[in-house]
Structure formats: C-alpha cells, structure tokens
C-alpha cells in the first residue's frame, strides 16, 4: 500500500535510542516532532518486564504508530541487552557451531529454537525486531569483537545456522536483522573504537565472507559493517560507500531487504553527525541507526535524515508480512533447546 495514498505522515529515515527506563519530556517532544521510523533499546532501558513494556508503548505513542519497529540486540553471550535475573541467560552463537560440527541437523534445530524462544520473550514486551543473527565468519587473528558471536569459519555452516535463527525469529513474529553485511569477521580492530580496514582481495571475499549474506539475501533486514574493504573502496566503510552498497550488497550479494546502518555514533565513522547521516543515506542505506540517546547528536541526525523513501517503505512493508506464528508452546521449545545444546 502506498503510504501517501493511505494519508500517513512519512516517517523519518532514522531509528533512535533513548536515555533511560522512561521517556523524558524532551524525548517525547523530539520523537513526536520528528516521527522516526522506530526505536532501539539497550540494557540502560531495561529494569523489568513491565517497565520495558510500558517504555515500548510510550515510544510508539509518541509517533502514533502501533507498527513502529522497536529493535534490540538480544544475541546471547556478551551481547544480551535483557539480562538475568529478570530474563534468562542466552548462549552466544559459538555452541551452535560446535554442535553443527557433529550433527548439522540438530544444530539447525537448536538454532531455530534459539530464535523462536528469544522471539517469545521479545514479543511479550512489544519488541518486534532483533539484531540477530551475526553472519560474520570466525577468522583466526581477527579482533574478538566478533569472536564467539560467530557460528564459525565455514561459510556454509554460518549460512545454515543463520537461516535457522532467522526462521525461528520470524516464526515467533520477530523480524531478524542479519549483520554485519558484507562481513565484519576479518576486522583487526573494534569498529566501536576505530575504523577497520580489510585488505583481502575481492575474489577471496566473494568465496568466503560474502557467501553467508548471499545465501540469506532474502532476509527482511540487514545491518551494515563500519569496515573499509579496500578491494572495493579504498576510503569509505561499507555504511557510507556507494560502491559497497550498490555493487556488493545490492549487486553481488543480491540483498533487497531493508538496509540499516550500524550505529552511526561509533568511532569508526568520521565527521559530524549530519554528514555521517547524509553519507550513509546517499550511499544507499534505507535507514540510519543512532543509539546512545545524546540530544545534540539526535537533533543533528533528525535535521538531515529526511523521510523514508518509497522503496524503503515497500521493503519495510514486505518485512512485516514475513512474520508468522508457529504455534509451538514456549516451554516446550525451551525444554527442547536445553536438550540439544552441548
């Protein structure tokens, strides 16, 4: 459905975080005024299930859209925003890779259950997008920012387990976000702190790092890598590189879902926040992600982001239609998962 014909106010091509466990008066006014596409939550925003549910409802109320996406990074292991004891402890990706080495079918079933049970917890809170799975390869000698967040070094293994997690999340009515396209596994530095440069040839990237993303080119959402791939673009990281987005992500990989930048407040990116936003959108990202809740940065992003494009809106609508309920009882799925993991 064309949003203009529907009479809707086009959302801003941005997703924002907030500072705490409830919205401030300034945040309410800012979000109501600028109408971002959606929101993202972190550990600082989560004190209890009832509080998170109230915060999610408040966020959607500011923009007047019950369908406004609410995102989180609920991977497991080191990256788990909803933490014990209020929420269950989740495993990282690595154990699923260990299981795949001995029993691929069991590993894929476990990965599906992992996605499905996470979706069950998130759906109860009103969170409908999870930044999972990581399709980055485990590369010896690379920085451990990926590390055990990866399913392994074999592209086929990563693709199969990643697909299973995506399918599980969708069966639980949560949209997956594959990351970090076109591959963060070779980075020698943490992109939160500085800009990684990958010197690997294009031929090698095409037969390794790119393959899991190519296998999951039909995923509804993907998140970019703040990584320079010198074989494609000597200067710009994927997030702000027209060559990487158009030639590799949309071209060779064939991804046609909603493309979300990684957090533009990370130190890998240079320049002020207006220029970061403009460059990411000009390169072909559909939406920019800003996570830290800093007022001045958010204002700078909102001033230049502009409305979501019609093509991006269609990708968003398609992603919403991909969700469906499996009907497997949550406790049954949880017990089955516990019996499969090593």
What are the CA-CA distances from residue 224 to residues 32, 135, 156, 239, 241 (Å)?
A: 27, 11, 21, 6, 10
For residue 92, give its domain range: 12-325
Query: E strands, the chain, where?
Result: 12-16, 36-41, 70-72, 74-76, 79-80, 129-130, 175-181, 197-198, 221-224, 228-229, 258-263, 287-290
Percent of the chain at pLDDT > 70 equals 98
Residue 135 belongs to a domain with what CATH number?
A: 3.20.20.300
Is pLDDT larger for residue 7 or for residue 67?
Answer: 67
**Domain tally for the chain?**
1
The answer to the question of residue 52 being in a domain is: yes
**Active-site residue flag, 192:** yes
Determine how many CB atoms are found less than 10 A away from the CB of residue 51.
Answer: 15
* 4 within domain boundaries: no
Whether the per-residue pLDDT at 256 is higher than 50: the answer is yes
3-state secondary structure (DSSP) of residue 71: strand
Q: Is pTM, for the whole model, over 0.85? A: yes
More confident residue, 5 or 7: 7
Give pLDDT, residue 7: 59
**Average pLDDT for residues 88-113, to the nearest whole number?**
97
| Residue 61, in any domain of the structure | yes
Q: Is residue 1 part of a domain?
A: no
Burial 141-174 (b: 16+ CB within 10 A, else e): ebbebbbbbbbbebbebbbbbbbbbbbbbbbbbb
133 falls within a domain: yes
Strand 287-290 vs strand 12-16: parallel, antiparallel, or unpaired? parallel
Task: Evaluate whether residue 136 is within a structural domain.
Answer: yes
The catalytically annotated residue of 262, 263, 286, 290 is 262
Establish whether 136 is a catalytic residue. no
Q: How would you classify residue 327: left for phi > 0, otherwise alpha for psi between -120 and 50, otherwise beta? A: left
Identify whether 243 is part of a domain.
yes
Question: Choosing from 29, 57, 144, 192, which is the catalytic residue?
Answer: 192
Q: Tell me the pLDDT of the chain averaged across its residues.
A: 95
Q: Is 247 domain-assigned?
A: yes
- Give the span between the Cα atoms of 178 and 212, in whole angstroms: 10
């Amino acid at each position: 459905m064309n949003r203009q014909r529907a009479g809707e106010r086009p959302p801003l091509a941005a997703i924002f975080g907030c500072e705490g466990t409830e919205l401030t008066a300034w945040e309410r006014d800012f979000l109501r005024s600028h109408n971002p596409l959606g929101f993202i939550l972190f550990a600082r925003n989560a004190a209890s299930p009832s509080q998170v549910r109230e915060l999610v409802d408040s966020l959607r109320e500011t923009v007047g859209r019950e369908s406004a996406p609410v995102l989180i990074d609920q991977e497991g292991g080191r990256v788990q925003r909803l933490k014990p004891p209020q929420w269950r402890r989740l495993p990282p990706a690595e154990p699923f890779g260990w299981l795949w080495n001995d029993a691929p079918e069991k590993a894929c079933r476990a990965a599906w259950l992992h996605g499905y049970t996470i979706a069950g917890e998130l759906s109860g809170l009103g969170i409908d997008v999870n930044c999972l799975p990581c399709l980055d390869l485990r590369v010896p000698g690379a920085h451990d920012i990926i590390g055990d967040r990866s399913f392994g070094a074999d592209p086929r293994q990563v693709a199969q387990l990643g697909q299973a997690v995506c399918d599980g999340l969708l069966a639980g009515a949560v949209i997956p976000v594959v990351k970090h396209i076109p591959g963060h596994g070779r980075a020698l530095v943490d992109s939160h702190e500085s800009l990684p440069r990958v010197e690997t040839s294009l031929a090698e990237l095409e037969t390794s790092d790119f393959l899991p993303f190519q296998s999951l080119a039909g995923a509804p959402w993907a998140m970019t890598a703040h990584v320079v791939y010198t074989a494609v673009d000597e200067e710009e990281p994927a997030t702000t590189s027209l060559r990487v987005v158009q030639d590799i992500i949309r071209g060779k990989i064939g991804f046609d879902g909603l493309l979300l930048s990684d957090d533009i407040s990370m130190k890998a990116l240079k320049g002020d926040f207006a220029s970061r936003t403009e460059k990411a959108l000009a390169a072909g990202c559909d939406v920019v992600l800003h996570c830290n809740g800093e007022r001045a940065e958010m204002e700078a992003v909102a001033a230049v982001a502009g409305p979501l494009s019609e093509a991006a809106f269609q990708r968003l609508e398609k992603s919403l239609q991909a969700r469906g309920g499996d009907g497997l009882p949550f406790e049954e799925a949880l017990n089955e998962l516990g019996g499969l993991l090593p």
